[in-house]
Amino acid sequence: MRRASTLLWISCFAILATALVEAGRARPAFAEPLATGIGGFTILGAGTGDGGDARPYEIVVVVDNYAEMLFVYSIETANDRRVQLRGGQNLPALFRSARGG
């Protein structure tokens, strides 16, 4: 009985020591923010699903908090460096239409 108790305590301390060592090695998780806001604008970048993994096509959604407008910009092809306005909408009108009004 004494030997089983001793082995149990040794196992307990070994697990505790391993947990403490691993906790000391842990690095905080980091995820790049997808949306950011500054100066009355909120900007969100997202992939379109086109272009493959090597050169994905992306869009940028910009919300103008003062004028209550939403704008969507994109790049036509991965090799094109021109940003094109795809559309814009008044946010109150957009939410009204989404509610069926």
Residue whose C-alpha is closest to residue 62's, from 95, 85, 31, 81: 85
What confidence score (pLDDT) does residue 89 get? 92
Would you kindly state where each structural domain of the chain is located, as residue ranges?
A: 35-98
Q: What are phi and psi of 30, to 5 degrees?
A: -130, 130
Residue 92, pLDDT score: 92
Helix segments in 2-90, DSSP class H:
2-25
Position 31 scores a pLDDT of 44
pLDDT (tens, 9 = 90+) of the chain, 101 residues, equals 577 677 777 776 667 667 666 666 655 544 454 677 788 888 888 777 777 777 777 888 899 988 999 999 987 666 777 788 999 999 999 899 998 87
